[in-house]
Structure 1
Amino acid sequence: MNNYSAYHHSFKNLQEKGLSFEQVFERIVTFMNLNPKGHYRLMVGTDSQVHKSQTVFITGIVIQNEGNGVWACIRKFIVPRKMTQLHERISLELSLTEEIVAMFTEERKNQLIAIVLPYIYEGATFTMEGHIDIGAGQRNKTREFVKEMVSRMESMGVEPKIKPDAFVASSYANRYTK
């Protein structure tokens, strides 16, 4: 990300601070191993908030076992200026999401799939989603960017979700941008 040197911040959640991506991945593996027959959704999404002299970006990583709990963490990224251009901000949100998605290499994804694989005939599932904080509704200012952002996620082999289904970006990450 060129000139943003403060970029590689660590991850944190309410229980832990200063987690590396390796540690985040280990937490996800541990969480999934608790119930390998689960219905897992690995979701990544970013939201931003423009403040007086900076713009705060929060990327959330959420592993959800549908109906059986979640494990989640965030990473904060600060741009030291007000980013008033909506397209620039949405695009950077997606770039930050893409960066995390890319950390889930084929090898890592296969490791996660291997946890549920012995149980797929018993209903176990694993999907990965990219949550984009945009909406296609008529009154939504971001609707003109939907096609571009959705195809960026799809090109990474991740299922894109937009509002109202993009809750990692629009709800979880959003809480930490204030």
Structure 2
Amino acid sequence: MQFYHPRTGRISLDQIISDIYAFIEQDRNAVYKMVIGTDSQTNHKETLFVTAIILHRVGKGALFYYSKKRSRPLLDLRFRIYKETEYSLDLMERLKEKGFLGASLELPVEVHLDVGRQGETRKLIQEVVGWVTAVGYTAKIKPDAYAASSVADRFTK
């Protein structure tokens, strides 16, 4: 999976982790949270998934990175929402495998889901929120799911 920083371009997951630690060191007294969310856009040729990883220094800014993944066009909304959730959870697992979010760094983690109480995705809320909470993370839906509905969405266009 290739990651990007919006200003500097390509970046490795290891470098993202180093950047996050450095960002936290700048202000050890601040409150932080890790936010991950995925959005997708489908056209007749493909479905583009964008996963955003955000370290939010609450009230004082944030760092963010994103990755893109392309697939054949996925027209089934339920399947696409499940894939978005899967990609977000997979990224959390990759971070954990690298020792991030272990004993040395306890951060609250939110997984932002691109579902809301309006529109077709309202039928999927219980399913995907249940999945995310079952693996131990806090799930957020629209309008509070800014990682998916704002940050990741910006890079699917």
1:13 offset after TM fit, Å?
Answer: 1.6
Rounded Cα–Cα distance in structure 2 between residues aligned with 1:33 and 1:112: 12
Q: Per-residue CA shift, 1:133-170, capped at 9, x if unaligned?
A: 001x2x42111111110111112211111111100000
Q: Residue 52 of structure 1: SS of its match in structure 2?
A: coil
Rounded Cα–Cα distance in structure 2 between residues aligned with 1:159 and 1:37: 23
Q: Which residue of 2 aligns with 1:91?
A: 82
**Where do 1:5-44 residues align within 5 Å?**
8=1, 10-44=2-36
Q: Residue 109 of structure 1: SS of its match in structure 2?
A: coil
- TM-score, normalised to structure 1, is 0.82
Residue identity in the other structure for 1:143: R
1:68 aligns with 2:60: yes
Structure 2: which 5+ residue stretches go unaligned? none
Number of equivalent positions: 155
1:94 offset after TM fit, Å?
Answer: 0.6
Q: Which residue of 1 aligns with 2:73?
A: 82
1:14 offset after TM fit, Å?
Answer: 2.0
Residue identity in the other structure for 2:11: L
- TM-score, normalised to structure 2, is 0.93
Q: Residue 9 of structure 2: SS of its match in structure 1?
A: coil
Rounded Cα–Cα distance in structure 2 between residues aligned with 1:34 and 1:112: 15
Rounded Cα–Cα distance in structure 2 between residues aligned with 1:151 and 1:62: 22
* Superposition RMSD in Å: 1.3
- Percent sequence identity over matched residues? 30
Q: Which runs of 4+ in 1 moved over 6 A?
A: none
Structure 1: which 5+ residue stretches go unaligned? 1-7, 114-125
1:175 aligns with 2:154: yes
Q: Which residue of 1 aligns with 2:125?
A: 146
Among residues 100, 110, 135, which one is paired with 1:129 in the alignment?
110
1:18 offset after TM fit, Å?
Answer: 2.4
Q: Which residue of 1 aligns with 2:105?
A: 112
